[in-house]
Amino acid sequence: MRSLTNLKHPPLFSLSSHTGNHVVLATQENCRIELFVLADDIIRVLVLPDGETHGPRTWSIAPGTDDVPLEGRDRRDMSGFPPPPFTLSSDAGHVVIETACIRLTVALDGGFCAWDVLHDSAWHRVMNDRKTQAYNFGWWDERVYHYIERRKDEMYVGLGERAGSLNRADQSYEMRNIDAMGYSARTTDPLYKHIPFYVTWQPESATGFGLFYDTLADCRFDMGRELDNYHGHYRHFVAEHGDLDYYFIASAGTPLHAVRRFTWLTGRPAWMPKWGLGYSGSTMSYTDAPDAQQRMGEFIERCSEHDVLCDSFHLSSGYTSIGPKRYVFNWNHEKFPDIDGFVRGYLEHGVRLCANIKPCLLQDHPAFDEVARAGLLIASSDGDPAWVQFWDEVGAYLDFTNPATIDWWKARVKDSLLKHGIAATWNDNNEFEIWSPDAIAQGFGQPYPAREAKVLQTQLMMRASHDAQREYTPDRRPFLVSRSGGVGMQRYVQTWSGDNYTSWETLRFNLKMGLGLAMSGVSNSGHDIGGFSGPAPGPELFVRWVAFGIFLPRFSIHSWNDDGTVNEPWMHPEVTQQVADLIKLRYRLIPYLYESLWQSHSAYEPILRPMFAEFPHDPRCLADGDDMMLGSSMLVAPVVDAGQSTRDVYLPTGARWASYWSGEVFEGGQTVTLPAPFEQPVTLLREGSVIPLNIAEQHFGRPAEERAFIALPHAGAGIAHGGCVEDDGESEAWRTGAQGRWDVTITSDVSTLRISIVREGWVQQPQQEVRLLVPKDDTRAAVCIDGALVADHTADGWRCLTIAIAH
């Protein structure tokens, strides 16, 4: 137990030591504040009330790398942080650290921190610790506290997937991962993920910062909901145990900088196979049926019948059943009499299978006794399994802080799934709901109460699944998904927002939930299209949900409807053609999504972006609306209300915008009303953008590629630019040079479009010609710098320039 100092007054610090980029302040009572200057724009603060660390190693910090050691990273490990230049000064009352971006002033009386960010050659005060009891120096209990002054004009965005508005101001949130089946996307809290990071944005000065609290503990954020007259306006963070260990990330000019740097800090997002961006079928019903293999075959037949493009199918846990219950890694051979033939039949149609796996063994699991004897389960202090309530039955969680458990898990993934041709793993029900203080995790040789780091078990489970796939097929990129997760999950998985409830309200607030997750470093995400739990969606809600979902990195239609029906593309015959057309639109846009995924991997760019984050200087973009940016080039405005045939869209100032469907160009800074038929979701291109497309005619089971580009050149002088990455979409050959790029540049003036289309490096299917679409009303002369213009005609509102590629 921590020995608290029980100080009646804030402690008085002095500068104790300064070694390299590590500065220590200490008191006679042995309180310590350690400051780590990690980059021009990142400073870490570690507050130790009794001078000792109490938290475990970190699995979150992986600056610019793919991973951390399996047993975690020592919290004093400074690798990956080249010391930046900074100045340190002190007087009788303060210590000041100044980098090129941050000025941190620490009051020696109490250790209160004040933070300034440099923007436009001026320092802006962006954060102050609360002057009354900012930290817990023995005031209350053994929990960890941080209180900060609050400004009324601030916006707070992030904290992973949270219900409600995108701006977290005036709300409170709990991070305690649970299986929130049928949650309300407007009100339910807590949910599935544990990401204690958020961005504060101050519109008036166009400055802000990110705060990341490096903790595995259950914790709570109050963003101004609580009021206490003794302390003024404040917000605060409380963790159940550990240390106050936080990272301040300066973000001047744009809130996106803090997101990029936080993503860099916590690890490079996985470069996943292109097929992971395709439509993924999924439902509980097929594998729960006694004739599951036949039902699964009918899905392929219906895709072919309706020409619904599909790249993967999520195999729900019914394939593991014995009677009514589910047993991980157990194949039900009555439901699936020919596993290899079943998998092969899917692969012959180009559809990969992603099998559901769960980290809890029911007490009557066929392997339970063997696993328990081997010590692979989280156990009580008396050595018995630490029993928990799980699906259908009492069971016990596997302990992924035991290397032997990881080896067992990887072997089962390989032997039960991968050897049959299963392409990927679906890591599900992995919230590790452990509440007993008597449940003990092995902790890589340093046992600890398992409830103190539940999210670590989640992270290590997905990592073990990832490593199993990499070991089994080292020449292929792993693809896996996980429902739960924490900081750094982007290194391994694609994710989704869990078991949402079917309603128009969910459609609206899932959009905000995905944006909050992207602003928390996790961009490769989506939602269960049509809703997972509750009533079956009606035709209008279903098609509107599809029209939104096709723009998300993860696109899966998944359900467990109350009436036993299944959400499928053909569930409502009156809109089946529109749904099939929307899915084809998705595949037309995959080159842009794939490039966005590459920019996330290589440059830490968020794929989904709130309007205010992309346009921080436009006051009208600060409103909590229902629009979003897909990358920096495409504005998506889904219909989220019933009975609408048009959509009002505010177009941010400072750029022109072109309708994807009509080619009509609009000036920014105004609201326009656009037609919104089911099969034509409102989509606009930003001036200066060039977006890659796949314009090949595609049919189920017969993929095809033909690259084209759509662009909105500047009206006068300016440069429009875009392009896309090209590789085989699945292998690891890109690491050794088997990757190329298209780069398109349109340099314009009042009379001419000077076009450069360059194809560099590896190309899987060389094209001799490529089409470039610009708005039909742009009649300026087209001059090709690389290649030659061979055709120029107008169709569907766009001017189509066909250009022969120079070699």
Query: In DSSP terms, which residues pair with 170 in a beta bridge?
Result: none
Half-sphere exposure of 626 (CA within 13 A, CB side): 17
pLDDT, tens digit, 9 for 90 and up, residues 58-84? 999 999 999 999 999 999 999 999 999
Output the pLDDT for position 4. Answer: 44
Instruction: Calculate mean pLDDT across residues 523-542.
Output: 97
pLDDT, tens digit, 9 for 90 and up, residues 712-722? 999 999 999 99
pLDDT, tens digit, 9 for 90 and up, residues 542-577? 999 999 999 999 999 999 999 989 999 999 999 999
Q: Which fold has domain 14-53+61-266?
A: Immunoglobulin-like (2.60.40)
In which element (H, E) is residue 594 found?
Answer: helix 576-603
pLDDT, tens digit, 9 for 90 and up, residues 667-683? 999 999 999 999 999 99
Take residue 601 and report the two structure tokens written for it: 């991997």
pTM for this entry: 0.97
Handedness of CA 603, 608, 609, 611 (dihedral sign): positive
Is there a contact between 538 and 532 (Cβ–Cβ < 8 Å)? no
Instruction: Calculate mean pLDDT across residues 204-224.
Output: 97
Output the pLDDT for position 313. Answer: 98
Is there a contact between 350 and 344 (Cβ–Cβ < 8 Å)? no
Q: Residue 137: pLDDT band by 50, 70, 90 thresholds?
A: confident
pLDDT score of 5 more than 70? no
Is there a contact between 199 and 247 (Cβ–Cβ < 8 Å)? no
Handedness of CA 188, 190, 193, 195 (dihedral sign): positive
Handedness of CA 787, 788, 791, 796 (dihedral sign): positive
Q: What percent of the chain has pLDDT over 90?
A: 95
Output the pLDDT for position 1. Answer: 36
Is there a contact between 56 and 31 (Cβ–Cβ < 8 Å)? no
Burial class (CB in 10 A: 0-12, 13-18, 19+), 348: exposed
Domain ranges of the chain: 14-53+61-266, 309-496, 609-804
- Bond into 610 cis (ω within 30): no
Query: In DSSP terms, which residues pair with 44 in a beta bridge?
Result: 36, 247
Burial class (CB in 10 A: 0-12, 13-18, 19+), 632: middle
Output the pLDDT for position 477. Answer: 98
Output the pLDDT for position 392. Answer: 83
Output the pLDDT for position 11. Answer: 92
Q: Residue 786: pLDDT band by 50, 70, 90 thresholds?
A: confident
pLDDT, tens digit, 9 for 90 and up, residues 324-372? 999 999 999 999 999 999 999 999 999 999 999 999 999 999 999 999 9
Q: Residue 2: pLDDT band by 50, 70, 90 thresholds?
A: very low
Q: Residue 540: pLDDT band by 50, 70, 90 thresholds?
A: very high
The end-to-end CA distance of the chain, in Å, is 70
pLDDT, tens digit, 9 for 90 and up, residues 374-430? 999 999 989 999 999 998 899 999 999 999 999 999 999 999 999 999 999 999 999
The residue length of the chain stands at 807
Name the architecture of domain 309-496.
Alpha-Beta Barrel (3.20)
For Cα atoms 400, 406, 409, give the angle at the middle one, nearest 5 degrees: 110
Q: Residue 603: pLDDT band by 50, 70, 90 thresholds?
A: very high
DSSP string over 424-492: EEEE-S-S-----TTEEE-GGGS-EEGGGGHHHHHHHHHHHHHHHHHHH-TTB---EEESSEETTGGGT
Output the pLDDT for position 58. Answer: 97
Output the pLDDT for position 391. Answer: 85
Number of H helices, E strands in the chain: 11, 55
pLDDT, tens digit, 9 for 90 and up, residues 738-757? 999 999 999 999 999 999 99
How far is residue 716's CA from residue 748's CA, in Å, rounded to a whole number?
A: 6
User: Phi and psi of 712, rounded to 5°?
Assistant: -120, 95
How far is residue 520's CA from residue 193's CA, in Å, rounded to a whole number?
A: 11
pLDDT score of 732 more than 60? yes
pLDDT score of 277 more than 60? yes
The per-residue pLDDT of the chain, averaged, comes to 96
Instruction: Calculate mean pLDDT across residues 168-181.
Output: 97
pLDDT, tens digit, 9 for 90 and up, residues 284-328? 999 999 999 999 999 999 999 999 999 999 999 999 999 999 999
Could you tell me which CATH class the domain 609-804 is placed in?
mainly beta
- Better-scored residue on pLDDT, 546 or 767: 546
Asked whether the domain spanning 609-804 has the same topology as the one spanning 14-53+61-266, the reply is yes
Output the pLDDT for position 3. Answer: 44
From residue 344, alpha-carbon distances to 236, 340, 347, 420, 576 in Å are 54, 6, 5, 9, 28
Helices (H), 679-721: none
Output the pLDDT for position 8. Answer: 62
